[in-house]
Structure 1
Amino acid sequence: MNIDLSRLPETLDALHLILGVSVVVLLFLLVLVLTLAVIVLLRRSAAPRTEITEKVVEKPVVEEKPAPTPPPAAKPEVEEKPAPPPKPIVLREPTPDAALQLLGLLQSEARLIDFLEEDIGAYSDADVGAAARIVHEGCRKVLDEHFEISPVRTEEEGSRIKVAKGFDSAETRLTGNIVGEPPFQGVLIHRGWRATQVKLPQLSEGHKADILAPAEVEL
């Protein structure tokens, strides 16, 4: 671009002066505005950042109460059954025939009834002893022929023995000072007897067992 210097005004009039001053003022204002803008930007960049802290509102902690324990279920009432009554003791009615038969044997072999029914107060000890010997021999014969007998305890009489817990009171009878619970320690006074076999003779039909000994008539 070629500038024609010949066309430049050679004289400086008032209009041109005003325009020149205006341009200078505008340039000054522009520089001033730019300077202020730069200063503001520099201040903003140099200022410490303010951290916005979010305020956390803590909710009050509500202590959770444990759920109430439900009451235990009521147990169904069990109807208590009354204790069974004790079994009645069954008493076996003894048959008199066997007893009468045994008593008749003792009479026939040992004259036992005669000896027991006799008033021995009028006799001397020697006479009673002689009669007792006959009774003893006859009773021993009946036992040997019709019974098998063994002692309940096998220990010697006078020895110390132990009576275990749960002993049979029908087999062992305790005497003396009985204190506490078994087992017991004691002295064997009598061994006891047990019938292991009975061999009574059979009765014929029409036999009168109540006749222990018939009356004797000498002709």
Structure 2
Amino acid sequence: MTEQPSLSLLSRLWLAFLCFWRVLASRPFAQAVLPLSESYDAGKLVSGAPPPAALPPAPPPKAAPAPVLPPEREHASALALLSMLQREGRLVDFLQENVAAFSDAEVGAAARIVHEGCRKVVKQYLTLEPVLPQSEGASVTVPPGFDAHRIRLTGNVAGQPPHAGALKHHGWVTTEVKFPSVSPALDSRVLAPAEVELA
């Protein structure tokens, strides 16, 4: 039998402290230690006592829950995109304006400016492709097992696919996103700063 290395008093105190708390916290650990403690007599194993059962492994430490971000931090990328659409196309100004009082010509002129700026932002930060490559109005066949997120059926929907129909809108899918990272130092809720012209 190999002789066990001797432990210093400090090591034994530390081991006793650890075992004390594990016995209190873990029923399987306490049940595994009980036969070991009963098999000792004045610091030596009683002859013929069965070897103690292997101690169960310590439970893995619980992962700390992810911090809950405030909505403006969680959705910072979306707010940054809206800010860019405002900066380049005045989209927020256009949507916040009550256009009922303006003529169609005035609304059309404003929409042209909004369209040009917003299109610039979309082309710069997003790569878009049609979901279906056919032209609108073309005849298409929707196969069995189609992805309902990519193709929406309208009109007289009955029976099981394949379905034949006319393409009303080819849809859009984003194939690449190139948003810049948003600095935590910036308040992403501010879509456009107030502008003050000094005299």
How many angstroms apart in 2 are the aligned matches of 1:163 and 1:180? 12
Asked if 1:195 is matched to 2:174, the reply is yes
Q: Give the corresponding residue for 2:101.
A: 122
Q: Percent identity?
A: 53
Gaps of at least 5 residues in structure 1 are 1-92
Q: Give the corresponding residue for 1:164.
A: 143
Q: CA deviation at 1:205?
A: 3.5
Scaled by the length of structure 2, the TM-score of the pair is 0.62
Q: Give the corresponding residue for 1:176.
A: 155
How many angstroms apart in 1 are the aligned matches of 2:145 and 2:181? 39
CA offset digits 1:38-92 (Å, max 9, x no partner): xxxxxxxxxxxxxxxxxxxxxxxxxxxxxxxxxxxxxxxxxxxxxxxxxxxxxxx
Scaled by the length of structure 1, the TM-score of the pair is 0.56
CA offset digits 1:122-149 (Å, max 9, x no partner): 2111111110000000010001110000
**Alpha-carbon RMSD:** 1.4
Q: Give the corresponding residue for 2:118.
A: 139
CA offset digits 1:161-196 (Å, max 9, x no partner): 110000000000000111110111111100000000
Task: Return the letter of the residue paired with 2:123.
Answer: D
Q: CA deviation at 1:156?
A: 1.3
Task: Return the letter of the residue paired with 1:139.
Answer: C
Which of structure 1's runs of 4+ aligned residues deviate more than 4 A?
Answer: none
On the 8 A contact 2:90/2:114 being kept in 1, the answer is yes
How many angstroms apart in 2 are the aligned matches of 1:149 and 1:102? 15
How many angstroms apart in 2 are the aligned matches of 1:133 and 1:166? 41
Q: Give the corresponding residue for 2:82.
A: 103
How many angstroms apart in 2 are the aligned matches of 1:171 and 1:112? 27
Structure of larger gyration radius: 1
